[in-house]
Amino acid sequence: FTCTATIDPAFVIAPVPHRLFGSFVEHMGRSVYGGIYEPGHPEADVNGLRLDVVKLTKELGVSAVRYPGGNFVSGYRWEDGVGPREQRPVALDLAWRSLEPNTFGLNEFMTWARQTEVEPIMAVNLGTRGVEDACNLLEYANFPGGTRYSDLRIAHGVREPHNIRTWCLGNEMDGPWQIGQKTATEYGRLAAETAKAMRRVDPDIELVACGSSNERMPTFGSWEATVLDEAYDVVDYISLHAYFEQHGDDRVGFLASADTMDRFIEGVIATCDHIGAKKRSRRRINLSFDEWNLWYESRFVGQDRLDWARAPRLIEDEYTVEDAVVLGNLLMSLLRHSDRVTIACLAQLVNVIAPIRTEPDTGAWRQTIFYPFALTARHARGEVLRVAVDSPTLYSRTLGDVSAVDLTATREPDSGDIAVFAVNRDEHQSARLRLRMGIDGAHEVVEHVVLGGDDLLATNSKETPGRVIPRSSTRHGIEDGFLDVELPPVSWSMIRTT
Ligand code: AHR
């Protein structure tokens, strides 16, 4: 079937936000211990940081990393993770019912972040703690010196302040699973007061308030409205979290997860702007999509069944080619909302629902979902262009009619180089995409890679780490300002022109 689409360099949504390609490291399962940090592993450096993971994180193109949770942060005492290691206590992690050895904490994370060249995004505990502890942590991290907590940092061997710019005010505070769950009003007040005090410690920080844990929460929409009613003037972002998987036999609905993401984002934008209008505010609240990925939650045993292990194997989902196609499409949804979604974090980075996997007895490897993320992070540069798509539809039992082809495009203003990212969600037929590019003069295709089309259940594993990689394609043509591309059934493609 044929699908037509139009872009024009004049129709710009927004510059590609640097922090759209963030990720997430939580003290959960083997994300930290046995993931980014594994003293004694042949790949680890003197600090115990796994250099193979550092290398793959850079290759993935991760720009920012949220830390240390997640549900974990809602019971975390950050002081337990700083200072001489031999004095750090083993603690109960109530979120994942695991033992937390505290041999990795804020300063180790910052060493890793510098080495990996990612911007840190720090979360504070608003589950079991509050205003004072958030300010103490900020003072420890960002205050130059001469005060109790900044001097403690210096005594711990870290002379210069970390200057962490972005801070999350708690995590998923509406969730019944959260330690210290709150009502919207309770949380909104706490977030506002914490924000006010933290800004006094450091006026240059940016603050993210918790939105709903996901779009299916019964209070979705009203939670955001109530929280922002309280905190609109003192926070910069509201968070969104979403994990996708196939429900029942609705494969089309799964392949069109990006449509669900679009709707979620647009609902949150509407709610932010509704509160802004009510307050006659000139401020604009942006969106931090600081947890997103595919997660086969239906296979997860549940928090109540865990039993105090150290770094247990938790939700180490193995992703298929089809998953990678969906993940590539989710990135398109984030890109086309880049005027409002300016932070996003793929959750998570290593082992726990992650693009990078490790084992104690071998080097790190790339899951299928690594590729669309890495290629988009590397080549979605410059500005995101608005795309008008005219595509046949497919029917999803849960979503109704969805577009069979979805795409987005970016353009570097200086060079005029264009990157097109496209998916074909049709299970049976190839699509012929005919894209009017709105440009004069000669353009040529410099790269065309495809994931999918066949072997959709293939995965990469410890035994076969290189089984799935994107393949290059020559099934394209470019003439008179039109790009013609063949998109195989259930596939993700990237086409770059210069
Ligand atoms: O990423 C795994 C968990 O999912 C996080 O801890 C939590 O915030 C979300 O529910």
- The DSSP call for residue 88 is P
Specify the residue with its C-alpha closest to ligand 1, atom 5: 70
Taking the centre of ligand 1 as the mean of its atom positions, its distance from the CA of residue 123, in whole angstroms, is 13
Contacts 24+ apart (CB under 8 A), 280-286: 281/232, 281/233, 283/232, 283/233, 285/228, 285/232, 285/235, 285/236, 285/237, 285/238, 286/236, 286/237, 286/340, 286/341, 286/342, 286/343
Per DSSP, the residues of 122-140 read EEE--SS--HHHHHHHHHH
Could you give the angle at the alpha carbon of 444 between the alpha carbons of 443 and 446, nearest 5°? 135
Nearest CA to ligand 1 atom 1: 347
Q: How far is the CA of 132 from the centre of ligand 1 (A)?
A: 25
| Helical spans, DSSP H, in 250-398 | 251-255, 257-278, 321-336, 370-379
Q: How far apart are CA 201 and CA 133, in angstroms?
A: 12
CA of residue 71 to ligand 1 center, whole Å: 6
SS3 (DSSP) at 270: helix
Neighbours of 156 (CB within 10 A): 15
Check residue 458 and give its pLDDT: 97
- 487 alpha carbon – ligand 1 mean position (Å): 34
| Residue numbers annotated as active site | 172, 291
Strands 388-390 and 22-24: unpaired
> What local confidence, expressed as pLDDT, does residue 300 receive?
76
Distances (CA, A) of 380 to 85, 218, 376, 412, 426: 42, 35, 5, 9, 24
Which residue CA neighbors atom 7 of ligand 1 most closely? Answer: 70
Q: Which atom of ligand 1 is nearest to the CA of 348?
A: 1
b/e burial code for range 223-243 (CB count within 10 A of at least 16 → b): bbbbbbebbbebbbbbbbbbb
Contact 164, 227 (CB under 8 A): no
CATH superfamily of 3-8+385-497: Golgi alpha-mannosidase II (2.60.40.1180)
**Phi, psi (degrees; rounded to nearest 5) at 306:** -85, 155
Measured distance CA(406)–CA(422) in Å, rounded: 6
Digit-by-digit pLDDT tens for the chain (498 residues) are: 999 999 999 999 999 999 999 999 999 999 999 999 999 999 999 999 999 999 999 999 999 999 999 999 999 999 999 999 999 999 999 999 999 999 999 999 999 999 999 999 999 999 999 999 999 999 999 999 999 999 999 999 999 999 999 999 999 999 999 999 999 999 999 999 999 999 999 999 999 999 999 999 999 999 999 999 999 999 999 999 999 999 999 999 999 999 999 999 999 999 999 999 999 999 999 999 999 999 998 777 677 778 899 999 999 999 999 999 999 999 999 999 999 999 999 999 999 999 999 999 999 999 999 999 999 999 999 999 999 999 999 999 999 999 999 999 999 999 999 999 999 999 999 999 999 999 877 789 999 999 998 999 999 999 999 999 999 999 999 998 999 999 999 999 999 999
Residue found by looking up tokens 């505290």 in the block: 102
Sequence letter at residue 494: M
Instruction: Indicate the top mutation candidate among 93, 96, 241, 294 to test ligand 1's pocket, ranked by most ligand atoms within 8 A of CB.
Output: 241
- 386 φψ region: left (φ > 0), alpha (ψ -120 to 50), beta (else): beta
Atom nearest to 72 CA in ligand 1: 6
| DSSP code string of 172-229 | -TT-TTSTT---HHHHHHHHHHHHHHHHHH-TT-EEEE---SSTTSTTTTHHHHHHHH
- Protein residues whose CB sits closer than 6 Å to any atom of ligand 1: 26, 28, 69-71, 171-172, 291, 347-348
Shortest-distance atom of ligand 1 to CA 175: 10
Distance between first and last Cα of the chain: 27
pLDDT at 271: 98
| Residue 351 CA to ligand 1 centre (angstroms) | 14
Contact 483, 445 (CB under 8 A): yes
Going by CA atoms, what residue is nearest to atom 3 of ligand 1?
70
Length of the chain: 498
Which has the closest alpha carbon to 467: 393, 368, 341, 362? 368
- Relative to the CA of 353, which ligand 1 atom is closest? 1
User: Measured in angstroms, how far is the CA atom of residue 459 from the centroid of ligand 1?
Assistant: 24
Q: Is 108 helix (H, G, I), strand (E, B) or coil?
A: helix
Report which secondary-structure segment, H or E, holds 57: helix 51-60
Residue 70: asked if its preceding bond is cis (omega within 30°), the reply is yes
Nearest to 169 by CA among 64, 94, 74, 289: 74
Placement of tokens 């497919």 in the chain: 394
Given ligand 1 and candidates 291, 301, 316, which is best to mutate, with the most ligand atoms within 8 Å of its CB? Answer: 291
Ligand 1 atom having least distance to the Cα of 28: 6
Q: Is 394 helix (H, G, I), strand (E, B) or coil?
A: strand
Report domain extents, the chain: 3-8+385-497, 17-379
- Topology at the third CATH level for domain 17-379: TIM Barrel (3.20.20)
Q: What is the pLDDT of residue 305?
A: 75
pLDDT value at position 222?
A: 98
